[in-house]
Structure 1
Amino acid sequence: MVEEIKFHERIKVLRVERNMTQQELGNLLGVTSQAVSKWETGITTPDITLLPKISKLFNCTIDSLFFGRVETQIHARKSMVREDLEKAKFESSNLRGVIMRDVVMDGAEIFDSRLNGMRIHHGGMANLSLKHLDLDGLKIGFSQMNGAVIHDLGGHTTPIRFAENDFKHSTVDRCDLANVELVNCNLSGMRIKGSSLKDSWLLQPEPYEPIHIDAVDFTNSVIMNSNLDGVRIENCSIEGLIINGVPAGEMIASYKR
């Protein structure tokens, strides 16, 4: 089986690891920033005569530029500001304690990695994919996460906090988000299925498009200052459910009488 060529992924990760802009890399290689941009988006590949220079610059083999697993050493850096990580892929990466601010991660994929204590502020993360991660203490704020896919996340002991984020049309599938804080987030059109939100704190500032929730455990969750007009609760256990201070069971019994 022929291995997939991954040059565009590799060159971007190597550049970002070294905190270089596309212009700076282009200057070192004698090409324009537009040429580097085309390499990183997979539109073109560099002239063959440039490959030895690129491999020497990044201290890697020419073969590794094109084939094999893309690895990152980003965990060696504790902070990232105004970085372009669009469509980057992070696999088996250690991002513990990393602080990101004003980063672009649209279409990026992070999987089988550790994000313990990671903080992201003012990030552009449309269509971000998060899968099989350790998220203890993760905090994301003031970020665009519309269209994100959050899939198969395990349990955690340190609370996760999402504040002032846009989760429009995102999907949460088979995740344990117990004790998570979702504060003033746009959940318009969000889909949550097969997940646990036990003891979570959900605060949404105003009504948007309907949220679809299926097979979710909301035990002891809190929903405050929200518009529930037209909400339907079907085939659900409501033992202990309280609405505006009145047990739902009492409401139903009173209605039946």
Structure 2
Amino acid sequence: MSKINLHELTAENCSIEKTDEEIKIWCSYDKGYAVSPQKYKSPVVIRAEVMTDSTNIRLLYDGGQLIFNWERNEEELRWCDPGTGKARSIAGAGKVPKNTWINLIWNIEVDNASVSVDGIERYRVIGDFSKVAGQIGIGSAMGSTVNVRSLSIAGTLTDEGTSIPEITEINDCLDRQKKILVNCADLSGSRFVTVKGEPLYFQEVTLAGTKITDANLSGLEIDGANLGGAYIHNIGPKMAPIDHPAYNPNARMEPVRFDRCDFNRSIMTNCDLSDIEITNCNISGLKINGILIEDLIREHEVKMLQDQS
């Protein structure tokens, strides 16, 4: 096990305050990391003594990521698989105490991976991690401050694998004559803040895990997209919470249209569905407030026949 000199870690998309005993990592938005200078290949064991003042203790390795005290649900452990890059939520495994030092261990073997907190295993998965390699990052997000007192890594050094990307900033670019053409590029982890993009065009892109907030998406068209697991909320000016920037109880939004969409097993709560028109749709099993809509339609048809007779 090699103990990393915390002063050798470099800041990517975050600010780092270094003292003799620890470092403090702060990131205003997402994906801010203190990054190891070397790359490691699996099997790897990452040990960290860390503390957060609020949310988002994050560990990053190749395509994998761990998030404790995730800002959207602190109880869930956010696990992005080091082998496949696919994200999942582990219910009840993500909460750690605030303003308290904890010991994290992320163990990636060639055929399994696990994570533990203070000696108690939180999650384990079987998979192929034999080709996982890259830099290792530890960080914060969404305004949290993460303190790191120690970081140790056991693994074989390598020149191959994933580097944690530097952030290239484009600021105050308000010249409407300038356009950006991005072709065959990896923009994973990029941020767009206070940006005007009318209209933007995306084709053959993967936007998995993308978050759009406080945005004007009127006239948005999404065609041929996989929205599995999407979380859409606070849509429409009068549906947002009172303290939300988009809240306007008197505003009226243009109608939203859905055509040839698979909403199987979707859930809608606290939504304004007034004046919705549903035509030629499969409504088997559709319930509103616990009432099966098929039954209501059948009752309506029977009543119409009785009225006619």
> The TM-score by the shorter chain falls in which range?
0.3 to 0.5
Q: Which of the pair has more CA radius of gyration? A: 2
Question: When you count helix as a share of all residues, which structure comes out higher?
Answer: 1
Which structure is higher in RCO with an 8 Å CA cutoff and minimum separation 6?
2
Question: When you count strand as a share of all residues, which structure comes out higher?
Answer: 2
